[in-house]
């Protein structure tokens, strides 16, 4: 679009109703309404009310064009159980303690209070998303990322107050998650004009370090140039739009190879080999080794079909700074069997990155170009970059293999399912030290029509990939 800086936004010119969301941040009575907390604190209310008219114009255009529209409200539970102590303390230092009665009698920034609500001029319409957030950023402790990903949103238009606090925090969060952001200069505002100007300037540095800025007129002109056409159909999947149809339970699984990834979970020597951590705990590692032929067959089929491959390792930093105290103490193990202790001969320290026991067994070893993911927890999404890596490649479908079925594999699959990925667990490419637990996991996955996903064996997946 013309008029945005420091580059023509979005970066690739792909601006459509079905891939773009308007986020209207915290246009609440307490921040920009007459008689609200900001008004009573003596700030110039005209500064936080200035964005109202530009937002109204953009909002009308987005409603007409069928864009995703999201309204946010900063606020806390009535019992303040989601209010961090430092935020509570800071609010009291400026004479506006969160949860205390404000000038209008409304408790400051408490959900359900009159001052917490959105101003009438920008009231949400039926069907528009209203997001309650306890922090400055819209992604912290909310389901915003899930809402955006479920709707296929990649571009975000940011409006609201204040530019330097909640708007900027949200823009930075979104940018780090791979969203393409545009801040509307006249549709945002701050209690200090200098802070508003500085926040805008920061965005434009380093070639657009957080995205781009423009005024509402430039955006509306871009909408007009595109005619606010109805949403276009989704772009074809990479790989020519091929579709593999896998015979699976509870019903056929449709797998687009160009939008799929194979997640190979924790095929590491510490768990799989004699002399490793798993064996030291008294487990029969041959039970895990039994899934290697199926895993190798699955891996070969996915490589041949061009499916992205991710290998995970449960591992901690050498200084154990990413090891929770609860995990370190779990099981009341003797010191010689705890994470970070010297392992069996040739294995190195237990579950520590870079140690020999933390390597992947030869049968399913990674090849160049495949992603190696170190995870400090059981789930592959916790404290890792897996989700943005998958989203950045357009991945929508995940195949799961690995060990153990009921712990790390099932945890990762449930995490993926809650994030909107279509998941299939490959039954003979996964194993447990406790066969009954594996069987129970497979049943849980397909229960209630596939509440977590699908199950199939490696032969079924390989055959479907070969046929498509």
Positions marked catalytic: 26, 133, 166
Cβ burial, residue 224 (10 Å; 0-12/13-18/19+): exposed
Helices (H), 320-365: 325-329
Residues forming a β-bridge with 13 = none
| Separation CA 277–CA 433 (nearest Å) | 13
331 preceded by a cis bond (ω within 30 of 0):
no
Q: DSSP per residue over 131-199, as a string?
A: EEESSSSSSTTSSHHHHHHHTT--EEEEEEE-IIIIIHHHHHHHHHTT-EEEEEEEEEE-SSHHHHHHH
| Residue 43 φ then ψ, to 5° | -70, 160
Q: Are 157 and 22 in contact (CB under 8 A)?
A: yes
| Separation CA 251–CA 83 (nearest Å) | 45
CA-based end-to-end distance of the chain: 39
| Separation CA 272–CA 275 (nearest Å) | 9
Q: What separation in angstroms does the CA of 154 have from each of 147, 188, 322?
A: 11, 21, 31
């Amino acid at each position: 679009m013309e008029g945005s800086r420091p580059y023509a936004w979005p970066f690739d010119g792909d601006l459509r109703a079905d891939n773009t969301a308007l986020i209207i941040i915290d246009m609440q009575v307490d921040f920009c309404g007459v008689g609200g907390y900001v008004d009573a604190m003596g700030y110039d209310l005209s500064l936080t009310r200035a964005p109202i008219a530009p937002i109204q114009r953009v909002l009308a255009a987005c409603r007409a064009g069928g864009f995703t529209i999201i309204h946010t409200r900063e606020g806390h539970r009535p019992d303040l159980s989601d209010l961090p102590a430092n935020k509570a303390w800071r609010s009291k230092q400026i004479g506006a303690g969160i949860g205390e009665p404000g000038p209008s009698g409304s408790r400051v920034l408490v959900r359900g209070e009159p001052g917490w609500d959105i101003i009438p001029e920008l009231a949400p319409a039926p069907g528009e998303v209203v997001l309650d957030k306890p922090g400055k950023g819209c992604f912290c402790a909310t389901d915003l990322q899930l809402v955006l990903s479920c709707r296929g949103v990649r571009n975000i238009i940011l409006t609201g107050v204040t530019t330097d606090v909640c708007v900027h925090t949200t823009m930075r969060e979104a940018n780090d998650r791979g969203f393409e952001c545009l801040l509307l200069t006249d549709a945002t505002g701050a209690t200090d004009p200098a802070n508003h100007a500085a926040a805008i300037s920061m965005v434009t540095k380093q070639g657009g370090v957080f995205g781009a800025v423009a005024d509402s007129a430039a955006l509306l002109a871009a909408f007009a140039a595109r005619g606010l056409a109805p949403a276009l159909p989704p772009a074809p999947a990479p790989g020519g739009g091929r579709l593999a149809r896998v015979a699976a339970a509870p019903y056929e699984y449709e797998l687009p190879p160009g939008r799929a990834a194979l997640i190979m979970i924790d095929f590491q020597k510490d768990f799989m080999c004699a002399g490793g951590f798993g064996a030291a705990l008294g487990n029969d590692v041959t039970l895990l080794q039994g899934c290697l032929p199926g895993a190798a067959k699955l891996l070969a089929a996915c490589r041949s079909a061009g499916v992205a491959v991710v290998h995970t390792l449960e591992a901690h930093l050498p200084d154990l700074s990413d090891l929770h105290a609860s995990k370190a103490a779990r099981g009341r193990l003797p010191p010689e069997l705890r994470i970070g202790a010297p392992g069996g001969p040739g294995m190195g320290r237990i579950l520590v990155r870079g140690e020999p026991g933390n390597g992947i067994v030869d049968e399913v070893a990674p090849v160049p170009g495949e992603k190696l993911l170190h995870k400090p927890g059981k789930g592959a999404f916790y404290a890792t970059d897996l989700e943005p890596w998958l989203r950045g490649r357009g991945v929508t479908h995940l195949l799961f293999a690995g060990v153990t079925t009921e712990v790390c594999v099932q945890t990762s699959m449930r995490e993926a399912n809650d994030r909107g990925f279509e998941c299939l667990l490959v039954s003979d490419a996964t194993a447990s030290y406790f066969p009954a637990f594996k069987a129970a996991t497979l049943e849980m996955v397909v229960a209630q029509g596939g509440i977590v996903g699908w199950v199939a064996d490696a032969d079924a997946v390989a055959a479907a990939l070969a046929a498509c």
